[in-house]
Structure 1
Amino acid sequence: MRVLVAEDDPGLRSVLARGLREHGYVVDAVGDGADAVAYALTYEYEVIVLDWRMPKADGMDVLARLRARGTRTPILMLTARDTHADRVAGLDAGADDYLVKPFDFSELLARLRALQRRPAQAPAHSLHVGEVHFDPATRIVSYRGEPIDLTSTEMGILEVLLRRSPSVVTRLSIASQVWDDEADAVGSNTIDVHIGRLRNKLRDTGAVITTVRGLGYRLEQQ
């Protein structure tokens, strides 16, 4: 799952990006509001973590621009401003949640999981094809109640395919959601290798990944 982190403090930005990647997220990290808007309008994100005070455009300005453009991605406002009026202003401007610095990283993760579960972004708590289930909150993939051991990359690919099933998902879309640098994945056989491994792990589950030549991949029930 791809997340955008917009934070002007380089130390905190690095810590957030590293911590989220360790928990299976694909992270784009930017240091100013102008880049935040550009990235948010270019890529598909499950959640955006947005600092209030940033150069070029502050968090409130970024919120206004994105909501005006119709962006419905859940946004978590991250800020040292902790008054009641500040919270109200942030939420009224279009933020979906509000976390005050300093904060515990485990709370940030919990809030991100809660935003992922919201109906606008995830129609069902558990994504599934046939009897293969994926829980976005726990990051557990199972077949008939038994866990399937997947790498974080394989899990990311499966999540993208499940969310779009039974539609075809392009290689570029998979790369942009699962890899930090999608160009590296698209320009090599990296995606094919991981798809092959994922197919092997889904063997005998009835969930089949079909290659649609010239377009991408489709996940469907056999």
Structure 2
Amino acid sequence: MSTPVDELKTAVIIEDDAEIRHILTEVLESAGFSTISVGNGIDGVRAVLTYQPLLATVDVNMPGIDGFEAARRIRAAQSDTYIIMLTGLNDEADVVAGLGAGADDYLLKPFRPRELRARVEALLRRTRGDTTVPVSVTSAPPQALTESSFPAARPTTSAPAASTDATAAALPAASAAVHADDASAADGWMAHRDLLLHAENRLVTIDGEDLDLTRTEFDLLATLLESKRRVRSKADLTLVLRGESYVTSYFVGDADKRAVEAHMTNLRRKLGDNPTSPRYIETVRGVGYRLTSELA
């Protein structure tokens, strides 16, 4: 008998406060998740690598390693779980640090359960490139797991998909054939200069070399490539990341715009792009971002 879809929806809760763990468990189970709760960063990283969850919530201040380091280790293992950082620190530098460590979103404590649920639903509306299983947030949750129920982490971490070699072997030919003015003819590839992006396969290359982006960085880059020279504002990009790009009634605050700035800084760093003399993405001051001109 096939495995029910809902049994595949797992969330890891990394939080040292037992009361907050309880609240997170209730909210996530009401959204249809099976949960694994742990009380420190080291066990949290191990649980994520063991269960490969769809979602992980990560507290910033924890014993052992803090949430920033936990997120970095999760991303270093090439896990693509959605990460929501929970923090009582509302300084801009702390928000930027969390996003820079690999978090997809952040939530300040104390938080309202309905706001957390809304953030989770917004993340789940975004494209998940490694699965074809539909995501539902309304079904009844499977039985929860506790922090004592997960085994020791496997000695190996996740690796790139087996098809990577075959894809990389085909890239030189694709790269030679693709130009910015005829990218639509490249079987799903979008191009800007020597940058190639395949939205369906979630692949990015620069001059034939694979680029490792977080889901948020990929979505930002794909949006800019689709928009070409049309400027996308920070508020517009915030709604795109929430999956609400066609909705105009949602509030976008200064913190949301700073989050986009932080993600864009990380994306540019990985692209090797200098904001003062950009090759791929330029800032339109007071407005937002767009692709650079095709001309060198």
* Structure 1 or 2: more strand by fraction: 1
2:69 matches 1:61: yes
Task: Give the Å deviation of 1:18.
Answer: 2.5
Q: Which position in structure 2 is the counterpart of 1:86?
A: 94
Aligned AA for 1:42?
Answer: T
Residues 121 and 77 (structure 1 numbering): CA distance in 2 closer, same or farther, change over 3 Å? farther
Q: Which runs of 5+ in 1 are unaligned?
A: 128-134, 140-150, 154-177, 185-222
**1:80-119 superposed matches below 5 A:** 80-119=88-127
2:116 matches 1:152: no
Aligned-residue Cα RMSD (Å) equals 2.4
Aligned AA for 1:95?
Answer: A
Please say if residues 113 and 136 of structure 1, whose CA atoms lie closer than 8 Å, have aligned partners that are also in contact.
no
Task: Give the Å deviation of 1:118.
Answer: 1.7
Whole-angstrom CA distance in 1 between matches of 2:106 and 2:27? 19
Task: Give the Å deviation of 1:72.
Answer: 1.0
Task: Give the Å deviation of 1:179.
Answer: 3.8
Residues 68 and 110 (structure 1 numbering): CA distance in 2 closer, same or farther, change over 3 Å? same
Aligned AA for 1:180?
Answer: A
Aligned length: 139
Please say if residues 37 and 145 of structure 2, whose CA atoms lie closer than 8 Å, have aligned partners that are also in contact.
no
**1:1-222 superposed matches below 5 A:** 1-120=9-128, 127=134, 136-137=136-137, 139=138, 152=140, 178-181=142-145
Please say if residues 52 and 79 of structure 2, whose CA atoms lie closer than 8 Å, have aligned partners that are also in contact.
no
**SS at structure 2 position matched to 1:71:** coil
Aligned AA for 1:136?
Answer: S
Identity of aligned residues (%): 37
Residues 31 and 82 (structure 1 numbering): CA distance in 2 closer, same or farther, change over 3 Å? same
Task: Give the Å deviation of 1:25.
Answer: 1.9
**SS at structure 2 position matched to 1:3:** strand
Q: Which position in structure 1 is the counterpart of 2:227?
A: none
Whole-angstrom CA distance in 1 between matches of 2:109 and 2:144? 26
Please say if residues 6 and 32 of structure 1, whose CA atoms lie closer than 8 Å, have aligned partners that are also in contact.
yes
Q: Which has the larger radius of gyration?
A: 2
**SS at structure 2 position matched to 1:152:** coil
